[in-house]
Amino acid sequence: MKRRTDRAIPAADERLLLRLLHGELPPDETAALERRLEGEPALAARYRRLAELWHGLELPPAAVPVDFRRDVLRAVERRVADDGTPAPAWLRLAAAAALLVGLGLGVGLGRLGVAAAGEQESWPVLVDEAPTLAERYWQSLEASGGRLGPEEPRR
Amino acid sequence: MASSGSSGSDDPDRDLLARVAAGDHRAFAELMRRHESRVIGLCSRLLDDREAARDAAQEVFLKVYRKAAGFRPRGKVYTWLYRIAVNHCLNRLRRRRIVRFLPLGEIKDPAAEEPAFEPVDEGPDPARRLAARRRWQATRARIAALPPGQRAVLVLARFEGLRYRQIAQVLGISEGAVESRLFRAMRTLERAQEVEG
């Protein structure tokens, strides 16, 4: 638990220690902090602890896999063959603009078509020509000479 | 350690990348030769899986090839390359986390997975080799326990030797955010070590 008590220094000081450890402090601040480290054992202990932790992080160098470069170059060639030569930026922009204009035109024309269809539905042309049931009744009544019911067979 | 500076006017990779953008495969091979070791190392340390790191590095270079024409000279080429690699690996890590939450399918035990690194031969002393393997194993386990954002900052600072400013450029965050993430990562590593005893 001794290590936990090492941490009981202000966070601002700990940040300074880390900057010192990482070589990020300007020379004047480095000198000032080093003077403090000589006079403050708790601060010095914390610095040693952080340094131990930092330098204790060890990893071996990663080796480049055999044929890595060759594999990447082949992958590039494959992809270039699949994709073809990429179009220049202006051409892609023009294509996108044309697509947007086309979409806009399509939507506009679609709306016009719907409006026209709507007009036809609200003003059906055939309604004047088609006799209603009542008209047909009166027409048949006139034809029968004013008699109601089915026409009597002529004798 | 990666060189500092962000002007990029003296960047030897700039011409190489311009040739790659023009479809020059030789230039691309040369760019790979210069950076493949770094990219594979970075992917290995972030993903902690050798095969996944190889696939990721391959994808990174394919992206570099495709995006070469779109490179804008705001910084060094290697910063741009690192950004592509880190973003690619972080996306993989996030997908991997989602997969771990899925109830269906066989979930791989991370401890049983193949190590990301082939331990190098440190000499004839088997005890030293064993001790080194144990340290690497412990480091891998601790780094793997960090959230992806902290892991990226730690790996770039500790193993790639990048300065806070360079890490900020690679990750697209502020230097203050880099410092905060490193601070939290160190706290997490320390707690893990205390738990291990």
pLDDT-derived band at B40, boundaries 50, 70, 90? very high
Task: State how far the Cα of B127 lies from the Cα of B131, in Å rounded to an integer.
Answer: 6
- What pLDDT sits at residue B71? 79
Helices (H), chain A: 2-6, 11-21, 27-39, 41-55, 68-83, 89-122, 133-143
Determine whether the interchain pair A69/B33 forms a contact, defined as Cβ–Cβ distance below 8 Å: yes
Task: State how far the Cα of A107 lies from the Cα of B152, in Å rounded to an integer.
Answer: 48
- Of the two residues A94 and B150, the one the predictor is more confident about is B150
- Under DSSP, the state recorded for A66 is T
- What pLDDT sits at residue B112? 43
Whether A36 and chain B come into contact, CB under 8 Å, resolves to: no
Among the ranges given (A87-91, A135-139, B72-76), the one the predictor scored with the smallest mean pLDDT:
A87-91
pTM: 0.68
Residue A38, amino acid: E
Contact between B89 and B56 under an 8 Å Cβ cutoff? The reply is yes
Task: State how far the Cα of B31 lies from the Cα of A70, in Å rounded to an integer.
Answer: 13
Residue B94, amino acid: R
pLDDT digits (tens, 9 = 90+) for A26-54: 999 999 999 999 999 999 999 999 999 99
pLDDT digits (tens, 9 = 90+) for A50-59: 999 999 999 9
The crossing angle, in degrees rounded to 10, of helices B25-47 and A68-83 is: 110
Contacts of A64 in chain B (CB under 8 A): 36-37, 40
Asked whether residue B18 carries a pLDDT value surpassing 80, the answer given is yes
Averaged pLDDT score across all residues of chain A: 77
- What pLDDT sits at residue B35? 93
- Under DSSP, the state recorded for A87 is P
CA nearest to B163 within chain A: A24
Phi and psi at B106, nearest 5°, equal: -85, 125
Averaged pLDDT score across all residues of chain B: 83
Quote the minimal CA–CA distance from B183 to chain A in Å: 7
Measured distance between the N- and C-terminal CA atoms of chain B, rounded to whole angstroms: 33
Residue A86, amino acid: P
Buried b (16+ CB within 10 A) or exposed e, B137-151: ebbbebbbebebbbb
Task: State how far the Cα of B164 lies from the Cα of B160, in Å rounded to an integer.
Answer: 12
For chain B, the DSSP string reads -----S--TT-THHHHHHHHHTT-HHHHHHHHHHHHHHHHHHHHHHH--HHHHHHHHHHHHHHHHHHGGG--SSS-HHHHHHHHHHHHHHHHHHHHHHHHH-SSSPPPPGGGSPPSS------S-HHHHHHHHHHHHHHHHHHHTS-HHHHHHHIIIIIS---HHHHHHHHTS-HHHHHHHHHHHHHHHHHHHHHH-
Domains of chain B (ranges plus CATH)? 13-196 (1.10.1740.10)
Asked whether residue A11 carries a pLDDT value surpassing 60, the answer given is yes
Quote the minimal CA–CA distance from B91 to chain A in Å: 21
- Of the two residues B98 and A69, the one the predictor is more confident about is A69
Quote the minimal CA–CA distance from B104 to chain A in Å: 32
Determine whether the interchain pair A56/B29 forms a contact, defined as Cβ–Cβ distance below 8 Å: no
pLDDT-derived band at A114, boundaries 50, 70, 90? low
